[in-house]
Structure 1
Amino acid sequence: MKKFLLVVQTLLLLAAASNVQAQKSYDLKKFPKGCQPEEIGIRLTERYLQTPHSHWGDINSKYKVTLVTYPDVCAWLGALWFTAGTGNDSLYTRLVERFEPLFTTQKNLQPNLFPKDHNVVDFYVFGAVPLEIYKRNHDPKYLELGMKYADGQWELPANPQHYKQLSEAKKYADDDYSWQTRLWVDDMFMITDLQAQAYLVTGDKKYIDRAAREMALYLDRIQRPNGLFYHHTGTPYFWGRGDGWMAVGMAEMLRMLPKDNPYLPRIRAAYMQMMETLLRYQAYDGMWRQIIDNPNSWKETSSTAMFTYAMILGVKNGWLDRKIYGTAARKAWLTLLSYLDEKDNLRNVCEGTGAKNSFDWYQNRRRLTGDLHGQAAMLWCAYALSCDVKPYKLTPKR
């Protein structure tokens, strides 16, 4: 009898141990020492505050910085989200103080409202930072600056003769899309995040409706049957960070869209399909590759962090199975930490990349260290793992 009880007890202990082990594999709350998201987020925020404004994300570039570009914006947003969410007021204050000179001595670094090239969409997302800051300080100058970019994204300037893509811009504007539409997958963070931020601070549903309709257009035009995305209509490659922008953009939209928005089911279905396919292409160690579906392509960190962020949001909001996707996200986070150097710079970040119909073009891009494309995505992950990332709430009016 005693032997029987001992066997039963042993079996129960083994079962309990197995459950604990299984729980650890998808636990997004408890991490090993040195891997805690809040600790990492503080270090990454400090690193960002120590980093001068970059040249398109490359902190080691020899080129002069002439404006604040979108990789800086995304890192800034991530740091603001993280510090606000964790209640780190001292770090948050320093992030706001970093912005103040952009109203005065560094005003020349504000992006031009109407640059000549087709990357104009990358300039306007700058407005998301003052709008994010406005949520807490309610300073009207932040609201005014941010809304200038948000409204400008839909208002074709009166005299745009020097703009290279003028005829295309007019066509989209006439159809009530952003005149900055270009059907590059990157746009689905640059356009939608700014418009969604405008919605959160004003409560005006036209902004979130614009963002959702714009996203639906991109889903119809560049999402492939497997759920992934070409960089744009002429480049048949699933470039990692390109798809990362869409993964993050859709996850963010799902947190913001009112339940009665007609595009919500379309965006949710596209997000779910993408997440399912990404799961199949995740490497054994948790990483994703520069070209997602090519096993010979190198492991790239900014895309991995972006996909991880999108999955964390999905797990925490109940859109994704917590065991399956929690395991994927946890594994990716822990492996990504091994790519941080002694200065908290992330290695193996693909340099800023235009689109090209060439496998070698993507495969041979430089692998940078500390580039803000990667730093930003890691901050997003630290924020999502450390904080409540349930649906956004509108900024209360004063």
Structure 2
Amino acid sequence: MKKSYLIFFILCYSVNAQNIKASSVKKEMKRVANWQIDHFRDTYSGRKKPHHIADWTNGALYVGMVKYAEIAKNKKYWKWLKNIGEQQNWKLHWRKYHADDHVVGQMYVELYRKYGDKEMIAETIKGMNYIIDNPSKEPITLDNYKHLERWTWCDALFMAPPLLAKLANETNDSKYTTFMMREYEATKQHLFDFEENLFYRDNSYIGKLAHGNKIFWSRGNGWVFGGLTLIMDEYEKDSEAYEYFKDIYLKMAKKLIDIQTPQGHWAMSLLSQDVYPTPETSGTSFFTFGLAWGINNGLLDKSTYLPHIEKAWSSLCSHITKDGMLGYVQPIGAAPGNAWADKTEVYGAGAFLAAGAEIYKMLKK
């Protein structure tokens, strides 16, 4: 009897450990992508109006939607993205220096790469050139939200640096890389905790403890970790830029698998799992995306990291509703908080699609 039970347990474990198939990943991505497109102009995070189409929230969605469009083999997703660019007249959002208003430019570059129309990136190049030629003189600190012209909060490292890396690649002009790396290093020195290998959301959290632990916001670090992969995609593996970002990436990756919850997600306050037991899918999606990318690009050992990716993906998929909505996405915020099974956000869907795309590539290999 005991022997039969042991065999049954081993068989069940083997099935559970290998239950992610490329076809099922693509199916879940399609459900989430289609639901989000159908509900694109809904209101989220308690706002009275839908997000502006060039808002950072949607910019993160577009990053994931581009990655899904590349594997979906259905032109409707490219057409949907292209329509967004046309509605916006291929312009960045309204604030010249604010990183959140630059992220939509990442989609423009990807559409330019597909369609070859220089009009798609002309305004983006113009906007980034202005910033480089007229760099902000504001401090790197974030004081009561007064200083937002530089990358003074860690989310910004997803929004602007990948765009500058893409422009460096497309224009073959090193000025974008030079500016980007200088500003990135300033933010790293300001917000990176060299003991924990995680980023503070902004300087208001440096030196503070909650429940005896330092406060590292899950989605904030997810922005950084996902952004690192987008940057490294634009550089040769032996380049100075690639090596710089790889160093940060590997330190974060090692830390992340050490603090993943037994349920597969990451706690909203990364070092306080017991205080924040509620699942949260936006940070978890970004981490899953980044870890799967690392295996696909030969930076992470598959035998070590794959079980963590499988566990995270299973957790994420368990929070998709029957209709295709990704639940448990923390609303707009700047710190650990609450998430609910019946609430979502566009950036959560974007992060999920990015994660699925990398897992799909990994499994297809």
For Structure 1 versus Structure 2, the TM-score category normalised by the shorter chain is 0.7 to 0.9
Deviations along 1:228-259, whole A, 9 cap, x unmatched?
Answer: 11111221410000000111112222332234
Shift of 1:188: 0.8
* TM-score, normalised with respect to structure 2: 0.82
* Residue 80 of structure 1, aligned match among 66, 89, 105: 66
Pick closer, same or farther for the CA change 1:381–1:372 going to 2, 3 Å. same
Structure with bigger gyration radius:
1
Which residue of structure 2 aligns with residue 369 of structure 1? 343
The answer on whether the counterparts of 1:133 and 1:142 sit within 8 Å (CA) in structure 2 is: yes
Residues 1:254 and 2:232 aligned together: yes
Whether 2:254 is the aligned partner of 1:276: answer yes
Partner of 1:147: 125
**Does the CA-based 8 Å contact 1:302-1:374 persist in structure 2?**
yes
What are the equivalent positions in structure 2 for 1:152-171 lying under 5 Å apart? 152-156=130-134, 167-168=137-138
- The residue that corresponds to 2:145 in the other structure is none
Q: Return the alpha-carbon distance in structure 2 between the equivalents of residues 181 and 216 of structure 1.
A: 12
The letter for the 2-side match of 1:205 is S
Counterpart for residue 383 of structure 1: 357
1:283-319 deviation digits (Å, cap 9, x = unpaired): 1121101100002213211001111011001111111
Aligned to 2:33: 45
- CA distance 1:215–1:281, shift in 2 (3 Å): same
With over 3 angstroms needed to count, the CA separation of the structure-2 counterparts of 1:248 and 1:64, relative to structure 1, is: closer
Q: Offset at 1:331? A: 0.9
1:393 alignment partner in structure 2: none
- Cα distance in 1 between the residues matched to 2:137 and 2:84: 38
Contact kept, 8 Å, 2:279 with 2:339, in 1: the verdict is: no
Alignment gaps of 5+ in structure 2: 1-6, 142-147, 207-214
Going from structure 1 to structure 2, the CA distance change for 1:93 and 1:248 (only over 3 Å counts) comes to same
CA distances 1:339-395 after superposition (whole Å, capped 9, x unpaired): 11122222111111136xxxxxx3357887221121111011121122379xxxxxx
Q: Does 1:319 align with 2:299?
A: yes
Correspondence 1:111 to 2:93 = yes
SS state at 2:138 partner? helix
In structure 2, relative to structure 1, the CA distance for the partners of 1:93 and 1:223 (3 Å cut) is: same
Confirm or deny: 8 A CA contact 1:351 1:371 kept in the other structure: yes
**What is the alpha-carbon distance in structure 1 between the residues aligned to residue 293 and residue 50 of structure 2?**
37
Q: Retained in 1: the 8 A contact 2:92–2:105?
A: no
User: Counterpart in 1 of 2:3?
Assistant: none
1:288 partner SS: coil
Equivalent-residue separation in structure 1 for 2:222 and 2:324 (angstroms): 21
Question: 2: distance between equivalents of 1:215 and 1:23?
Answer: 43
- The answer on whether the counterparts of 1:192 and 1:215 sit within 8 Å (CA) in structure 2 is yes
Match 1:201 to one of 170, 175, 184? 170
Shift of 1:64: 5.7
Judged with a 3 Å threshold, the aligned counterparts in structure 2 of structure 1 residues 63 and 335 are, in CA distance, closer, same or farther, namely same
Aligned-partner SS, 2:251: helix
Change (3 A) 1:388 1:325: closer
Give the counterpart of 2:242 among 253, 259, 264: 264
User: What is the identity, as a one-letter code, of the residue corresponding to 1:131?
Assistant: V
- 286 and 366 in structure 1: CA distance in 2 versus 1, 3 angstrom threshold: closer
**In structure 2, distance between residues paired with 1:110 and 1:215:** 21
| Mapped contact 1:71–1:376 kept (Cα < 8 A) | no
Are positions 1:70 and 2:44 aligned together?
no
Q: CA deviation at 1:87?
A: 3.1
Change (3 A) 1:129 1:299: same
In 1, are the aligned partners of 2:228 and 2:249 still within 8 Å (CA)?
A: yes
- Aligned equivalents of 2:104, 2:341: Cα separation in 1: 25
Number of residue pairs the alignment of both structures matches: 340
**Residue 90 (str. 1) matches residue 76 (str. 2):** yes
**Structure-2 separation of matches of 1:20 and 1:197:** 45
Maintained 8 Å contact 1:216/1:266: no
For residues 46-61 of structure 1, the aligned pairs below 5 Å read 46-53=34-41, 58=44, 61=47
Deviation per residue, 1:87-129 (Å, 9 max, x gap): 33233223323432222xxx8x9621438xxxx2211222222
RMSD of aligned C-alpha atoms? 3.2
Kept in 2, the 8 Å contact 1:216–1:267? The answer is no
Alignment match, 1:228: 198
Q: 1:331 to 1:64 in 2, by over 3 A?
A: closer
Partners of 1:127 and 1:145 within 8 A in 2: no
Q: Cα offset for 1:180?
A: 2.8
Identity of aligned residues (%): 20
Q: Does 1:36 align with 2:6?
A: no
Structure 2: distance between partners of 1:253 and 1:168: 24
Amino acid aligned to 1:140: K
Change (3 A) 1:143 1:263: closer
* TM-score normalised to structure 1 length: 0.75
> 2 CA distance for matches of 1:231 and 1:367?
25
Q: 2:333 aligns with which of 341, 348, 353?
A: 353
Summarize the alignment of residues 7-18 of structure 1 with structure 2, pairs less than 5 Å apart. none
In structure 1, the partner of 2:283 is: 303
